[in-house]
Chain A
Amino acid sequence: MRFWQLASFGGFLLLLPLILGLNDYYIFLTTLILLYTVIVMAWYFIGGLAGQLDLGAGAYHGLGAVVTGYLMIYYNVSGWIGLVLGGLAAMGVAFIVGFPSFRFGLKEVWYALASLGLVLILQKIFLLWTDVAGPLERYIPFREFDPLYMRARAKWFYYYITLGLLLITFYLAHRAKRGKLGLYLVSIRDEEEAAEMLGIDTRRYKLVALLTYSFITAVTGGIYASMVGFYHPILFDGWIGIQTATIAIVGGLGHFWGPPLTSVILLSIAEYLRINLGGTIPGLHQVIFGAILITAILFKPAGIGPYLESLIEKVRKR
């Protein structure tokens, strides 16, 4: 049973660009949805497992975009290398901010606010840092199809990169969940003192979660920059973090497949609403989106993932 589900699902994802008729616009939208889903999946490490309500996704996303884009434009460095370096830069920033935060025991709302503040600080720093970014958009040179440089006109190219990243993230998260890292992080989330008494270096493991998350999120930023062909400090967007955290909460905090599933569904709904309502009443699609989010949080506080799980359980028992 399990095999068929995975195989058909995998086949579907692989063939999706063809199913969409290789239409660049639809593939572009699908890629965007997958890209944000990757962030939701990466958030599983810091939010789901380690229980830190991080809202700083925009910081790492933007950093990845700027580093990748900057290297592509000014040093003609392949985007692939840019992705890695962007990820490392994000890890560096995450460490600089994360280490003292965990050292001084920031938690809950304070951690969330600090991470949100980080996004805005980085945005403004890059706005003022005109050598690298500044207020003007920087454009990545056009290439018809250059996989080595990681730039192509056809959108399916980015679709498969994103799909690859999604699979890697999924694999990493799954391994973490089953293994020592996941167990340690959950124990820290549940009861930090007890975890410490069992010999777990809580700060270190929280940092590991934060760094993993920041790396993957930065990679999404790099892919995004190459796909849209420019970068700008506006990519340090506080909204990405808020969206990621709410989707993860609606999907079921700490649940494994609930959040990504919710992400794909909700973001598809959001895009659908945008295409159909965005023209008539601008912003209405966002309100509906917000209403769906808040209803889900209020009435299924445990999240959609656990709810579906209990439903499946019921059906099986029958």
Chain B
Amino acid sequence: MNSRCNGLTKLQAIVVVIVLVIGVAVGGIFAITLLQPTTPTAKVEEIRVGLVEPLTGTYAVFGNEAKMAAELIVEQINAQGGIKSLGGAKIKLIVEDSKSTADGARLAAEKLVSVDRVNVIVGAFISAHTLTMLDVTEPNKVIVMADALVDYLTARGFKYIVRLPPKASVHGATAVDFVVGLMKQKGEKITRPVLVHFDGLFGEVTGDGVYQRLRDLGIKLVDRIKYPTDITDMAPIIERIKAAEPDVVFVVPYFADSVLFAKAVKTLGLKVKFIAAAGGTGLADPDSIKAAGDAVELMTNTYSYDPFLPTEYNKKLVEDFRKRYGKLPTEAAGIIFYTLWTLKEGLELSGQKYPQDPLNGDNLMACFMELDLKSGPAAETYPTGRIKLLPNGDNMYAGAVVLQVQGGKPVLVYPFEKAQASAIYPRP
């Protein structure tokens, strides 16, 4: 680069060599001390659990609710004496922000794996973000307990993944089944459905779920409208829906867009028989009702968790959550509830079966596979009341519920046999 650099004297060469040798030595020692594999010890002091959630950014509403729930449950587990088969080892929760971006989630996973050396990661709510984490966790045999719904998370042959909530296509199908059943009670049929969804991974897959179930029932979509997640003006979308003259609108929103959607429906006076959402985010949860006011009245959404499940533990938990955070737990919190309790059960089992190395990814995963929960906190918070994993990591007994906004409050309306109140139909 510089002419003065070309002349290398002997002295300079020696010094360079010395610097290099010292550098390698120092770095090597550093590396060895830090890279030392955590030798399996019989005594486990604490179980490090990473939680990656979108605490800031577009999806922050969900991430923060998940974080609240996780802190509450970890507190409860530790207060009960931790993991008993591991000598009462406590769970240590390490929370990382994914910043609502895929690379943010990846960076968080990178840190949790190589700095905090966690045993399990729970997250990352957004399916696309969860996928980027798996790139980091799989080779390191760190188990990801996903609270994200997209189907193919569990269909790509990943070995260390557990996903308890119903997958996105189930949500889509549930929304269709619910509306079809509801209209059947009145002797009507869906004739001109329109599907509206945001264009991210989750929106696409859940939308596909709606589309496929409708197709199986022999009903054709009149229009399928996609919009960007960061949309700021819904008026053109509503205009397009109007142009299609639908009777039922199926929508897959996230949070902020659901608020805009509801408000635009009201402002522009969209008149349809029913508006049903799929996918557990937006429209019928307390945050949406707070943000959109009466615009969301009578809209429904499918959820992976039923806050009104009449089990003893669930009632108490919802009460605790309400007392502490002042709101009803829905999708994001609910998934965390049963996911963390399932984690606890898995750890207990691993402590009994593999006392020498209970936290090893393979051992723990084997234990998860063995679980068949019909009672206890995990089962008591799960909509169908049972958790048993399929080989791919999905719950065999997955199922979703539908909530409707009635009088400014979410009410369980589906499955019909469990409903708190019958669904109000049609829209005025």
Which residues of A pack against B, CB within 8 Å? 2-4, 6-8, 11-12, 14-15, 17-26, 28-29, 127, 134-137, 139, 142, 144, 153, 155, 170-171, 174, 228-230, 232, 234, 278-279, 282-283
Contact = CB atoms under 8 A, between A and B. Distances in A.
B19 A28 contact: no
Interface of B: 1-2, 4-5, 12, 15-16, 19-20, 23-24, 26-28, 30-31, 33-35, 55-56, 95-97, 99, 101-103, 106-107, 110-111, 113-115, 128, 131-132, 135, 138-139, 199-201, 204, 226, 228
Contact of B35 (A4, A8, A21, A142): A21
Contacts of B27: 15, 17-19, 21-22
A18 B24 contact: yes
Nearest to A18: B27
Contacts of B4: 2-3
Nearest to A136: B201
A135 B23 contact: no
Contacts of A232: 102, 128
Contact of A7 (B19, B115, B128, B226): B19
Given A19-B26, A139-B131, A232-B102, A279 B95 contact: yes
Contacts of B110: 24-25, 28, 155
Nearest to B13: A7
A13 B254 CA distance: 44
A142 B23 contact: no
A232 B26 CA distance: 40
B97 A21 contact: no
A135 B1 contact: no
Contact of A279 (B97, B204, B226): B97
B132 A229 contact: yes
Contact of B97 (A26, A28, A127, A278): A278
A55 B84 CA distance: 58
5 contacts: A228-B103, A229-B132, A230-B135, A279-B97, A282-B56
Contact of B200 (A19, A20, A136): A136
Nearest to A10: B16
A135 B201 contact: yes
A229 B135 contact: yes
A144 B101 contact: no
Nearest to A134: B199
B9 to A, nearest CB: 9
A21 B56 CA distance: 30
B48 to A, nearest CB: 15
Contacts of B131: 137, 139, 230
B31 A22 contact: yes
A119 to B, nearest CB: 15
A135 B102 contact: no
Given A22-B35, A137-B102, A282 B97 contact: yes
Q: Top 7 A-B pairs ranked by shortest CB distance?
A: A18-B27, A282-B56, A135-B199, A21-B34, A15-B23, A24-B114, A21-B30
A29 B2 CA distance: 30
B56 A283 contact: yes
Contacts of B2: 2, 6
Contacts of A144: 139
